[in-house]
Amino acid sequence: MGTNAYVGLSIVIFFIGVFGMLTRRSAFFFLMSIELMLNAANLLWVVFAKSNGNLDGQVYAFFIMALAAAEACVGLAIIVLFYRKRRSVNLDDAAEMGK
């Protein structure tokens, strides 16, 4: 598997994530699609770290993982808060919050 194959794989995974984000209405699927897209980006860091022959890309992949942990932490807190207010985790209900 060469660099291009890994890049193609990353594209496929990333756009499956985009598709999930645009179509699913559940906040959980939204969050999981974001995680999927972050993973696709992570894969690219590691692939190009290997093709460039240094480790900085792998270190940044590790940073992105910690960033994803922080993002999931706050995102889930917001979901819990929204569920307490509206008894729903549907993003269509969240769209009407400002009205």
The residue within the footprint of other proteins, chosen from 43, 95, 96, 99 (CB under 8 A), is: 43
CB of 85 to other proteins, least distance (A): 7
CB of 63 to other proteins, least distance (A): 6
The residue within the footprint of other proteins, chosen from 86, 88, 94, 98 (CB under 8 A), is: 88
- What's the Rg (C-alpha) of the chain? 17
Q: Output the CA–CA distances (angstroms, integers) from residue 11 to 14, 32, 34, 36, 41, in the order listed.
A: 5, 17, 14, 11, 9
Cα gap 97→86, rounded to integer Å: 10
CB of 99 to other proteins, least distance (A): 19
Contact flag: residue 97 with other proteins (CB under 8 A): no
